[in-house]
Amino acid sequence: MQQKPDLIEILRRSREGEYCSPRDWDLKRIPQGVKKMLKKYDLQKSVDKENPVNTDLELADEFFKAGYELALELGMFNEARDRIIRISEDELKSTLKLAPSEVELGFGADKRVLKSRTPSDPTPMLFGSSLGITVSEDKWPLLTEGIARQLEVDLLEGGSLCTINGLDALPNDPSETLLCYEQGRMHRQIRKKAGREGMPGIGNISAVTEFGQFCYGTKGNFYNTDLSLILYPSELKINNQTLHKVVHTLAMDGLIFAGSPGMIGGMPGTPEGAIISSIAASLLQYAVLFATVGGGELYDIRYLSNVNREGLWALSATHQALSRNTHLCTHGIANQVSGPGTRELMYETLVGVSVIAASGTAFSTGPRSAGGKFNDYLSPLDCRWCAEVSHAASGMSLESVNEMAKKFLPEYEDKIKTPNIGKPVEEVWDLQNFRPLPEAEKVYDEVRAVAEDFGLPL
Amino acid sequence: MDNVIVKKLYDAVIEGEEEIAVEAAQESIDAGLNPVEVIKTSIQGAMDEIGAQFEDGEAFLPELMLAGEAATEAMDILLAKIKEDGGESTEVGTVILGVMSGDHHDIGKNLVKAILSANGFKIIDMGIDVGVKAFIETAQREKADIIACSTLITTSLPYQKELIQTLEAMGIREKYSVILGGGPVTSQWTKMISADGYANTASECVSLCTQLMERSEKGGEGEPIIIGALT
Q: Which residues of A touch B106 (CB under 8 A)?
A: 233
- Against a cut of 0.90, is the pTM above it? yes
Nearest CA in chain B to A173: B102
Q: List the single residue in A168, A239, A241 with the smallest CB-CB distance to B158.
A: A168
A337 at interface of B, judged by CB pairs closer than 8 A? no
B105 at interface of A, judged by CB pairs closer than 8 A? yes
Nearest CA in chain B to A235: B105
What are the pLDDT digits (tens) for B77-90?
998 888 888 876 66
A33 at interface of B, judged by CB pairs closer than 8 A? no
- Residue A199 burial (C-beta neighbours within 10 Å; 0-12, 13-18, 19+): buried
Q: Does domain B3-85 have CATH number 1.10.1240.10?
A: yes
Is B108's pLDDT higher than 90?
Answer: no
What DSSP character marks residue B201?
S
Contact assessment for residue A211 and residue A261, using Cβ atoms and an 8 Å cutoff: no
**A171/B106 touch (CB, cutoff 8 Å), yes or no:** no
Interface of A with B in 152-171 (CB under 8 A): 160, 162, 168-171
Q: Beta strand pairing status for A298-300 and A262-264? A: parallel
A270 at interface of B, judged by CB pairs closer than 8 A? yes
Minimal C-alpha gap between B51 and chain A (Å): 12
Gap between the Cα atoms of B172 and B40, Å rounded: 34
Minimal C-alpha gap between A163 and chain B (Å): 9
CATH superfamily of B93-227: Cobalamin-binding domain (3.40.50.280)
A448 at interface of B, judged by CB pairs closer than 8 A? no
Gap between the Cα atoms of B17 and B116, Å rounded: 18
Contacts of residue B130, defined as CB under 8 A and 6 or more positions apart, other chains included, come to B98, B99, B100, B101, B149
Is B171's pLDDT higher than 70?
Answer: yes
- For residue B117, the model assigns a pLDDT of 85
User: A341: closest CA among A431, A418, A445?
Assistant: A445
| ∠ Cα A192 A198 A200 (to 5°) | 110
Q: List the single residue in A26, A162, A267 with the smallest CB-CB distance to B158.
A: A162
> How large is the ipTM?
0.85
Q: Per-residue b/e over A378-411, b at no fewer than 16 CB within 10 Å? A: bbbbbbbbbbbbbbbbbebebebbbbbbeebbeb
User: A217: closest CA among A259, A188, A239?
Assistant: A188
Q: How far is CA B29 from CA B15, B25, B72, B121, B217, in A?
A: 21, 7, 16, 21, 37
Q: Which residues of A touch B186 (CB under 8 A)?
A: 373-374
Q: Beta strand pairing status for A237-238 and A298-300? A: unpaired
Q: Which residues of chain A have pLDDT under 50?
A: none
Residue intervals in chain B for CATH 1.10.1240.10: 3-85
Is B230's pLDDT higher than 70?
Answer: no
Confidence of residue B183 (pLDDT cuts 50, 70, 90): confident
Q: Which amino acid is at B61?
A: L
- Residue A216 burial (C-beta neighbours within 10 Å; 0-12, 13-18, 19+): buried
Question: What percent of chain B clears pLDDT 70, i.e. is strictly above it?
Answer: 97
User: A386: closest CA among A150, A196, A188, A51?
Assistant: A150
Strand order in the sheet with A18-19: A18-19, A83-85, A76-78, A237-238
Q: Which amino acid is at B149?
A: C
A79 at interface of B, judged by CB pairs closer than 8 A? yes
A314 at interface of B, judged by CB pairs closer than 8 A? no
Query: Quick one: CA dihedral A149, A153, A157, A163, positive or negative?
Result: negative
Gap between the Cα atoms of B72 and B64, Å rounded: 12
Minimal C-alpha gap between A269 and chain B (Å): 5
Residue A207, helix vs strand vs coil: coil
- For residue B110, the model assigns a pLDDT of 85
Gap between the Cα atoms of A281 and A288, Å rounded: 10
Gap between the Cα atoms of B199 and B197, Å rounded: 7
Q: Beta strand pairing status for A255-259 and A227-231? A: parallel
User: A191: closest CA among A180, A177, A207, A203?
Assistant: A203
User: Who has greater pLDDT, A119 or B183?
Assistant: A119
What are the pLDDT digits (tens) for A171-187?
989 999 999 999 999 99
Q: How far is CA A242 from CA A12, A316, B107, in A?
A: 15, 27, 18
Gap between the Cα atoms of A59 and A43, Å rounded: 8
Gap between the Cα atoms of A248 and A276, Å rounded: 30
Torsions phi, psi of A49, nearest 5? -65, -25
- For residue B1, the model assigns a pLDDT of 65
- For residue B90, the model assigns a pLDDT of 67
**A170/B161 touch (CB, cutoff 8 Å), yes or no:** no
Q: What is the mean pLDDT of residues B104-108?
A: 83
Nearest CA in chain A to B53: A265
Query: Quick one: CA dihedral A161, A162, A165, A170, positive or negative?
Result: positive
Is B52's pLDDT higher than 90?
Answer: no
Contacts of residue A2, defined as CB under 8 A and 6 or more positions apart, other chains included, come to A94, A98
Contact assessment for residue A331 and residue A294, using Cβ atoms and an 8 Å cutoff: yes
B230 at interface of A, judged by CB pairs closer than 8 A? yes
Is B41's pLDDT higher than 80?
Answer: yes
**A301/B153 touch (CB, cutoff 8 Å), yes or no:** no
Residue intervals in chain B for CATH 3.40.50.280: 93-227
**B57/A209 touch (CB, cutoff 8 Å), yes or no:** no
Query: Quick one: CA dihedral A302, A399, A151, A344, positive or negative?
Result: positive
What are the pLDDT digits (tens) for B113-135?
888 888 889 999 999 999 999 99
User: A27: closest CA among B97, B56, B17?
Assistant: B17
Gap between the Cα atoms of B168 and B172, Å rounded: 6
Nearest CA in chain A to B132: A170
Domain A115-125+226-454 class in CATH:
alpha beta
Gap between the Cα atoms of B176 and B153, Å rounded: 24
